[in-house]
Chains A and B, each alone.
Chain A
Amino acid sequence: MSETEKIIVVIPAYNEEANLPSVLKRAAEALPGADLLVINDGSRDRTSRVARSHGARVVDLPFNLGIGAAVETGYKYAYHHGYDLVVRVDGDGQHTPEEIPALLEPIRAGELDFAVGSRFLGKGDAIGSTTLPRRMGIRIFSRFVTSLVGKPFTDPTSGFRAFNRRTLHAFMAEYPVEFPEVETIFYLHRKGLRIGEVSVSMSPRPSGKSSINFWSAVYYMYKVTFALLILTIRSYRNTVSTKGGDR
């Protein structure tokens, strides 16, 4: 443990026994001294046992809550256990753990409160890591978020993120359960936090298949667009949250 700050890597996992060992091993190598926390989102396979045997702490949700609520569970854990820095890495192996230090860099340097790992900033095989419809959706939300925030966001749907305790506070006050990625960027901006992107490489999902089908994609577009519009008319003048610190 060379750092004085407490770091936690939050890894949501739903039926990821195949991908978890590699993710956990590489995360531990990339960030020695950090605690690894797997949120087992009601998996029916051996996700929980596999995670434990690879040195991770595990929070087992009794049934599937969805990735948003699973991630939020990890953030609640980080908040209650006093972590200074939080990294979110998906358990499906898409996010490359080797990139964690790069993602944490601007946070540690005090330049940003919240960093999003983008695969479209010139590093790695961006096209190979995503499908065409998904890319179109990303482009739409990229324009949308960029114009709302006034700062370029090339990969707003990326779930590869790192942030500090200030951001954690903001998440305790409010965290969207469904498809939180895009929404949280604008939410944190409205809360007055410093947000930005960091170039990272990602890999295609190594095992299993994504759960997104046509209708859920349509619903995704609607939900995120509507949530962003609502955020523009919500009042955040009182940035000091009363809900976050009641424990």
Chain B
Amino acid sequence: MTAHQRIVAFVLGVGLFLFIVELVRRRKLQEEYSLLWLITGATIAVLAVWHEIVVEITRLIGAALPMSTLFFFGLLFLIVINLHYSVKISGLSRRVKDLTQELALLRQRLEPEADE
């Protein structure tokens, strides 16, 4: 990795980190979700400076190039986070359905012709 590449990666990581902080400050992102993205930004920045870690991991998992290691974990991370969102969405849809039903049932009770 050239110094040029490292600087770009470092700036990107720090930029992401600051962007997340700003989103939380403006209440566009809840703290719960911010943690993961802050770690992501920090990881990018740290790996850019401390390149030896990537080389070492590449050796450990038997990958040919450090670049493959980065892509591999990047992709894995995206898959896992999407799965996490699918789980969250399932839970949210169930709640929306339950609330909608509850609302309709309560409204029915409030009707003047309702006998109970």
User: A residues engaging B (CB < 8 A)?
Assistant: 57-63, 65, 69, 72-73, 76-77, 80-81, 177
Say yes or no for B107: interface residue by CB 8 A criterion: yes
Say yes or no for B105: interface residue by CB 8 A criterion: yes
Give the total of B residues in contact with A, Cβ under 8 Å. 11
Which of B97, B105, B114 sits near A65, CB closer than 8 Å?
Answer: B97
Please tell me if the beta carbons of B101 and A60 are within 8 angstroms of each other in the complex: no
Inside 8 A of A60's CB, which chain B residues have their CB? 104, 107-108
Say yes or no for B68: interface residue by CB 8 A criterion: no
From B101, B103, B105, B116, name the one whose CB has the most chain A CB atoms within 10 angstroms.
Answer: B101
Say yes or no for B43: interface residue by CB 8 A criterion: no
Say yes or no for B100: interface residue by CB 8 A criterion: yes
Shortest beta-carbon distance from B92 to chain A in Å = 13
Inside 8 A of A65's CB, which chain B residues have their CB? 97, 100-101
In the assembled complex, the Cα of A244 lies from the Cα of B47 at a distance in Å of: 52
Inside 8 A of B94's CB, which chain A residues have their CB? 177
Inside 8 A of A72's CB, which chain B residues have their CB? 101
Please tell me if the beta carbons of A73 and B104 are within 8 angstroms of each other in the complex: yes
Shortest beta-carbon distance from A82 to chain B in Å = 10
User: B residues engaging A (CB < 8 A)?
Assistant: 94, 97, 100-101, 103-105, 107-108, 114, 116
Closest 5 CB pairs of A and B: A73-B101, A59-B108, A61-B104, A59-B104, A69-B97
In the assembled complex, the Cα of A58 lies from the Cα of B109 at a distance in Å of: 10
With A57-B108, A77-B108 as contacts: A63 and B100 at CB distance below 8 Å: yes
**Please, which residue of chain B has its CB at the minimum distance from the CB of A39?**
B104
With A69-B97, A73-B101 as contacts: A81 and B107 at CB distance below 8 Å: no
From B100, B103, B114, name the one whose CB has the most chain A CB atoms within 10 angstroms.
Answer: B100
Which of B97, B100, B105 sits near A77, CB closer than 8 Å?
Answer: B105
Known: A57-B114, A59-B108, A62-B103. 10 other contacts (CB 8 A): A60-B107, A61-B100, A63-B100, A65-B97, A65-B101, A72-B101, A73-B104, A76-B105, A77-B108, A81-B116
Which of B97, B105, B107, B116 sits near A177, CB closer than 8 Å?
Answer: B97
Please tell me if the beta carbons of B104 and A62 are within 8 angstroms of each other in the complex: yes
In the assembled complex, the Cα of A62 lies from the Cα of B97 at a distance in Å of: 11
In the assembled complex, the Cα of A81 lies from the Cα of B107 at a distance in Å of: 15
Shortest beta-carbon distance from B101 to chain A in Å = 5
In the assembled complex, the Cα of A72 lies from the Cα of B100 at a distance in Å of: 12
In the assembled complex, the Cα of A80 lies from the Cα of B105 at a distance in Å of: 10
Shortest beta-carbon distance from B95 to chain A in Å = 12
Inside 8 A of A77's CB, which chain B residues have their CB? 105, 108
From B97, B104, B107, name the one whose CB has the most chain A CB atoms within 10 angstroms.
Answer: B104
From A63, A72, A73, name the one whose CB has the most chain B CB atoms within 10 angstroms.
Answer: A73
- A-B residue pairs in contact (CB < 8 Å), sample of 7: A59-B104, A60-B107, A62-B100, A69-B100, A73-B101, A76-B105, A81-B116
